Structure 1
Amino acid sequence: MTTPKVAERLTINVPPETAWAAVSDVRRMGEWSPECRGAWLLGRGGRPRRGTRFLGRNRASWLPWVTLCRVVEAVPGEVFAFDVSFFGIPLSRWTYRFFAVPFGCEVTEEWHDRRRGVHGWLITATAPLLTGVTRRPARNRTTVRATLVALRDALEAGR
């Protein structure tokens, strides 16, 4: 995978396994993210693992949209990553890394842009009409930071 377009990190005063468990329960992402409203797991539930698929529910402005996501890496307490596509067109990879530090863990959230070729150009050109977001990297930098802060606040409060 290429270098992430956006990467932010934050220290949270909980063990890495606790932070990983929260993030990997993708149905809860809407509790923290300003854009993701949550997810619906596809297939059998349970602990996320490589290959688990889910529909991501999103809204940035007035129009909601759904993406198909597939877990590509799931190592408890260490890393959780998933690929995002829209009608079969690769959009992005989201990766969360967890490192133990004194009194908790450092969580890094990364956004990798996977839009390539003519399909990627088409998505990039039309996405602002569907999502209301004209500058995706700048938007993601803002929402990633907000997500990590909200995650920290919730986990440190015991939620």
Structure 2
Amino acid sequence: MTGSAPLTESVMVRVAPLTAYTAVSDVTRMGRWSPESRGAWVLGGRGPARVGTRFVGINRASWLPWTTLCTVVSAEPGVRFSFKVGLLGVALSRWTYRFTEVPGGCEVTEEWLDLRSGVSGRLITAAAPAVTGVVRRRERNRATMRTTLAALRTALEDGV
């Protein structure tokens, strides 16, 4: 539940920060790297994501797919990309990606912050395992973040 420290994982990638940002901020591509995300449908237009862009996140952890409504809250090319995730009007989480230039490329840091709170947050938390098949969300996210970042690194360094 909210109040816990954000989870963060990082990876070094041999591409420029703007290249990594461009890949991550195209939310329709996330399903290529993430073991849980299956991609997204951007609502209301095309083009680069900007603050206020909304998209439907498509996910699957086990047997049952589910969707969430996401809103971009930060879009600084080559620096930071962040979006909030909600379900049925309840804030669930915020995902943030930071891109830091380092010699030979950039460091990509992925961060997940649990925003569930109050009665509605507790209800969503209680129902989530039946919908997603995930009992330990924090531990699951740490593992999927590591997998996502490794796959992102491979794809970017291979020019995919």
1:5 maps onto 2:14 in alignment: no
Structure 2, gaps ≥5 residues long: none
The answer to whether the 8 A contact 2:4-2:114 is kept is no
Question: Normalising by the residue count of structure 2, what TM-score does the alignment of the two structures yield?
Answer: 0.97
Amino acid at match of 1:153: T
Counterpart for residue 56 of structure 2: 55
Cα 1:133/1:80, change in 2 over 3 Å: same
Q: Distance in 2 between matches of 1:20 and 1:3?
A: 27
Counterpart for residue 82 of structure 1: 83
Counterpart for residue 128 of structure 1: 129
The answer to whether the 8 A contact 1:98-1:106 is kept is yes
Matching of residues 35-74 of structure 1 within 5 Å: 35-74=36-75
Structure 1, gaps ≥5 residues long: none
Q: Distance in 2 between matches of 1:76 and 1:3?
A: 28
Q: Distance in 1 between matches of 2:91 and 2:124?
A: 9
Amino acid at match of 2:88: F
**Percent of paired sites with the same residue:** 62
Equivalent residue of 1:14, what SS?
coil
- State how many pairs are aligned: 159
Amino acid at match of 2:69: L
Query: What displacement does 1:5 show?
Result: 2.6
Query: What displacement does 1:3 show?
Result: 7.0
